[in-house]
């Protein structure tokens, strides 16, 4: 799908709004993850507002694409994006992590039926996505135009069950499976390459017989082109390694692993929202 200038401007504005919603949610909840949700806002915006085949008015539409969030702790970006896309009211975002809320700290499908899966233990989402893609292939074969997207963190590639799913997907030649890795280089205790080195990451996925694409996860044209390329591959599953900046958009949070699992307080959050609003003003000027 082609991206023209007006659509890119729209996506940049929407991503900025989603980042502001994430900060507002975290302030209200007083708990939650900051770095990952901000870093993945552009990917989620591109998916829900340009790339996914879905219908917020018919969330159970049989022909929809499926999106599986494996790293469920970044759910504020999923909730915010779905609300902005029209799945539920923006006002409900203020209930994040409250007792009895539909918006729990990890997505729970029984509470929010618009979700495809419940997320929890890291590394399990890819196995779920492989099952969905395999079922679709069995039902419809290679003629199917329904795609399964699995979003993963880089840190969860420390989990062995991720690699079991990677092997099975390659064996079954699941061309309808697209994995997007949030390659932000951090996890809760520090930098990935200091805790459990992942590099050379692209070579590892290729060795497991996947089609590998590496992109700037904040460039909408690269995101769009990567998904288009992945959908055109018929012999194997595809993985998009999206290099992202954790905490993207807020200078005080960017590239700092300490923000992986903590929320901003009211003062930090207010400053973050001011910065995001200023950033959007600069973006508008660039497009004029």
What are 104-121's pLDDT values in tens digits? 999 999 999 899 999 988
* Tens-place pLDDT, residues 4-18: 889 999 999 999 999
Total count of domains within the chain: 1
Over residues 14-68, the pLDDT tens digits come to: 999 999 999 999 999 999 999 999 999 999 999 999 999 999 999 999 999 999 9
pLDDT at 288: 64
DSSP string, the chain: ----HHHHHHHHHHHHHHHHHHHHHHHHHS-S--HHHHHTHHHHHHIIIII----TT-TT-TT--EEEESSGGGHHHHHHHHHHHTSS-GGGGGGTT-TT-SS-SS--TTT-TTSSS---STT-HHHHHHHHHHHHHHHHGGG----EEEEEESGGGGSHHHHHHHHHHHHTT-TTEEEEEEE-SEETTEEHHHHS---SHHHHHHHTT-EEEEEETT-HHHHHHHHHHHHT--SS-EEEEEE--TTTT-TTTTT-GGGSS----HHHHHHHHHHHHHHHHHHHHHH-
Contact 257, 187 (CB under 8 A): yes
- Return all residues near 99 (Cβ < 8 A) that are at least 6 apart: none
Total-model pTM? 0.96
Domain that holds residue 70: 5-287
Residues 6+ apart with CB under 8 A from 157: 163, 181, 198, 201
State residue 151 phi and psi, 5-degree precision. -100, 130
In which residue ranges of the chain is pLDDT below 70?
1, 287-288
Q: How much is the pLDDT for 228? A: 97
CATH of the domain at 201: 3.40.50.970
- Of 33, 156, 160, nearest to 106 by C-alpha is 33
């Amino acid at each position: 799908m082609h991206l023209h200038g007006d659509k890119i401007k729209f996506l940049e504005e929407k991503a900025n709004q989603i980042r502001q919603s994430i900060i507002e949610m975290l302030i209200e909840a007083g708990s939650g993850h900051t770095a990952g949700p901000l870093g993945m806002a552009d990917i989620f915006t591109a998916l829900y507002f340009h790339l996914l085949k879905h219908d917020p008015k018919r969330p159970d539409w049989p022909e929809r694409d499926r999106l599986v969030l494996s790293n469920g702790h970044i759910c504020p970006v999923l909730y915010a994006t779905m609300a902005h896309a029209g799945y539920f009211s923006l006002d409900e975002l203020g209930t994040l992590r409250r007792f009895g809320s539909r918006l729990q700290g990890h997505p729970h499908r029984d509470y929010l039926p618009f979700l495809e899966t419940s997320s929890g233990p890291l590394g399990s989402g890819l196995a779920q996505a492989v099952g969905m893609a395999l079922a679709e292939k069995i039902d419809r074969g290679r003629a199917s135009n329904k795609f399964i997207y699995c979003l993963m963190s880089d840190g969860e590639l420390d989990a062995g069950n991720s690699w079991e799913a990677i092997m099975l997907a390659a064996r079954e030649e699941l061309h309808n499976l697209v994995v997007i890795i949030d390659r932000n280089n951090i996890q809760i205790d520090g930098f990935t390459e200091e805790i459990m080195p992942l590099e050379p990451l692209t070579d590892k996925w290729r060795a497991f017989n996947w089609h590998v694409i590496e992109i700037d996860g904040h460039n909408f044209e690269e995101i769009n082109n990567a998904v288009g390329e992945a959908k055109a591959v018929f012999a194997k599953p595809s993985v998009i390694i999206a290099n992202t900046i954790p905490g993207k958009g807020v200078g005080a949070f960017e590239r700092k692993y300490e923000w992986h699992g903590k929320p901003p307080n009211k003062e930090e959050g207010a400053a973050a929202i001011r910065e995001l609003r200023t950033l959007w003003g600069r973006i508008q000027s660039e497009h004029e």
